[in-house]
Amino acid sequence: MNALIGFLIALAIGLTGIGGGSFTVPALVLIVGLPASASVGTAFVYAGVMRLIASPFYLGGKHIHWRYLWLLIQGAVPGLLIGTYLLRKLSGPSNMPVVVILLGLLLTASSSVTFLPWVQNQNFARKNSSWLPWLALPIGIESGFSSAGAGALGTVLLLNYSEMSPPEVVGTDLLFGLVLAVIGSAFQWKFGAIDGHVLTQLLAGGIPGVVIGCIFARRVPKRSLKLVIAVIAIFAGLQLVWSGSRTMIAKRTRSTVPSSVEAAPKAK
């Protein structure tokens, strides 16, 4: 099962650049049963390896906008450090449901822009490139706190507010996510929040999956690829909202059960 999960997520990463954290963390929490902190750490390393394998495909096709990539990194790396610090200080498992829900709502809303042409501004990045680091800062914070956001939110930002083609967006965002994954993995490794056994199984299915995704990405028409990216991102956002809500409800249910049990003897 873990290898199948790794294959499907890697397929999405190779095709669209999305899925490293947005899909992996919910899958590890809901299906595999890992704690939230271990899921974040494992997802960081897994996403980093997948993007490392996928990047040469887009580098070879010259689908990288180096200037935009550098501007995104300038804002996202400080955000990543902030998010990682918050994850450690705020007792990740207890706060993770709220963060996951907020990320899901943000991802769903931002991805819906793809289907609203009057809201898009393809020339925004070219005319206002100095804003890219500031827009990347919250993406880095979300990535550091939950390992999600670098691929999905970065892709949505570049897809709807830059002049780049979909393949260029995917390639640039893959390298962007790779930088964040490498830095984030180093911190998570230091804290010991990685499940090596699950990671190995994910990689066993993920390596062929990401290669297949990269090969087919070149054959998908630009408009179709843009719609696929948007649909996957919306699905990932709704999945995160459902995952966070379910976890929050479960915690509230467990917290009310002891009080009810204690009240029963007093009633007698």
How many helices (DSSP H) and strands (DSSP E) are in the chain? Answer: 11, 0
Distance of alpha carbon 195 from the chain centroid: 18
CA-CA distance, 111 to 102, in Å (whole number)? 14
User: pLDDT value at position 74?
Assistant: 94
Residue 235 lies in a domain: yes
Residue 262 lies in a domain: no
Distance of alpha carbon 143 from the chain centroid: 7
3-state secondary structure of 60: helix
Residue 257 lies in a domain: no
* Section 27-41 average pLDDT: 77
Give the amino acid at 140. Answer: G
* Section 1-23 average pLDDT: 82
Residue 256 lies in a domain: no
User: pLDDT value at position 201?
Assistant: 94
* Section 71-91 average pLDDT: 81
Residue 92 lies in a domain: yes
pLDDT category at 78 given cuts 50, 70, 90 is very high
Closest C-alpha to 48, from 80, 87, 96, 78? 80
Give φ, ψ of 138 to 5 degrees. -65, -30
- pLDDT tens readout for residues 115-166: 777 776 778 888 888 888 998 898 888 777 666 666 667 877 887 788 888 7
Residue 259 lies in a domain: no
**Could you give the maximum distance between any two Cα atoms of the chain, in Å?**
76
Residue range(s) defining the domain that contains residue 183: 2-249
Give, to the nearest 10 degrees, the angle between helix 150-161 and helix 222-267: 140
Number of folded domains in the chain?
Answer: 1
Query: Higher-confidence residue: 227 or 72?
Result: 72
Give the Å distances, CA to CA, from 252 to 93, 170, 260, 262.
14, 39, 13, 16
Residue 191 lies in a domain: yes
CA-CA distance, 88 to 140, in Å (whole number)? 16
Could you count the other beta carbons within 10 Å of the beta carbon of residue 112? 15
**pTM over cut 0.75:** no
- pLDDT tens readout for residues 205-259: 999 999 998 888 777 666 676 677 677 777 777 877 887 788 788 877 877 765 5
Region of 149 please: left (phi>0), alpha (psi -120 to 50) or beta: left
Residue 255 lies in a domain: no
* Section 2-13 average pLDDT: 89
